[in-house]
Amino acid sequence: MDLNFTPEEIAFREEARRFFRTEIPAAIRAKVAEGEGLTRDDMITSQRILNARGWAVPNWPVQWGGQDWSPIQVYLYQDEMQQADCPPPIAFNASMVGPVIAQFGSEEMKQRFLPATANADIFWCQGFSEPGSGSDLASLRTKAERKGDKWIINGQKIWTTLAQYADWIFCLCRTDPSAKQQEGISFILIDMKTPGITVRPIYTIDGGREVNEVFFDNVEVPAENLVGQENKGWDYAKFLLGNERTGIARVGNSKAKIARIKHLAALEFAGEQPLIEDPRFQEKLAAIEVELKALEMTQLRVVSDERKLAKGKQNPASSILKLKGSVIQQQLTELLMEVVGPYAMPYQRDFDGNNEPVVGPGYATEAAPMYFNYRKVSIYGGSNEIQRNIIAKAILGL
């Protein structure tokens, strides 16, 4: 594998670096760096800046705003975005429902939804998981019955991320109860303002409201909001999940966190010396940096191999990226907790904001919430246990 970038690739990287560090508002990037939650307006602002540059949906077909980039360019785009602490494009729009509509929707549906989705004029959320239907998603029970020119939808979705911000939800619904599990599911688009929809928050261990329950009680949805063919939703869901795993190693994000940890460790003291000069701390940080460099080399090998794979085929080595990337991200939140030490303890976030004055430096306040929130990264996008099974079978041949 040749690790040298071409002059054109180097120029592209420099262009991306300048753009992300100068065009995305510094206040938004500071929130990302510090682990503070972004508001709906923050995410929409960033998305629209990216879209104006033509970089909000680079994975889409060119006719709908995509870029005909090489795998290396995609890698550089993601790496520079993450290192600059820029919010990525809204995942539900850019990586999930948009590609599904572009691939399987009617021409009328594409015209109606794709430009608005790229520009965040519509903020989407994902209606997949249900109580009892998480890992076994095909057992979902939310039902859509066709009555005339409408679907009547009843059921419940859970762990619906950012549903409190969403204008629309894309849902998997059971449209043929008599068919085999995977064969009786359809992919339907639903306006969140439709009567009969209730969103109820689930407050998480970090004190935030990121996920929700969504209830459907005789919700009437126009028949034309069905994506593609009836009962083919499982195929579309698999297509969507393949897009969701793009860039899941988040190497650039981890690079940015290491830089921040080094900066803060120079401000905190261990005895009479800055923590960054403590040999034991240096050893822990160096061990993670070595692992991250190995992960980056693995990611570059995967990117190189993507040139040879058939389009749309998943490289099983991406499971290594997901597995190791999530472990490193969690290790870095643990190291950040060590840096801020007891200053992470007094900070507690109630449901409406901080319930006590900040104790200690401001940069310490998000360390504990970030640590708790990052417990999720070894679960989403395919749990690490599942990734180990894939690696064992598809790579090691066990």
Catalytic residues: 244
Q: In 3D, which of 218, 213, 214, 168 has the Cα closest to residue 188? A: 168
Q: In 3D, which of 266, 397, 261, 246 has the Cα closest to residue 336? A: 261
DSSP conformation letters of 354-370: ESS---S-GGGTTHHHH
C-beta separation of 339 from 363 below 8 A: no
Task: Return the biggest CA–CA distance within the chain.
Answer: 76
Which run of H or E residues covers position 215?
strand 211-222
Q: What residues contact residue 238 under an 8 Å CB cut-off, 6+ apart?
A: none
Q: Which two tokens stand for residue 187?
A: 């992919």
C-beta separation of 328 from 287 below 8 A: no
C-beta separation of 251 from 82 below 8 A: yes
Count of CA atoms in the C-beta half-sphere (13 A) of 30: 5
Q: d(Cα 129, Cα 164) in Å, to the nearest integer?
A: 16
Q: Which two tokens stand for residue 50?
A: 């990216």
274: left (phi over 0), alpha (psi -120 to 50) or beta: beta
Paired residues of 169 in beta bridges: 125, 190
Q: From the CA atom positions of the chain, what is the Rg in Å? A: 22
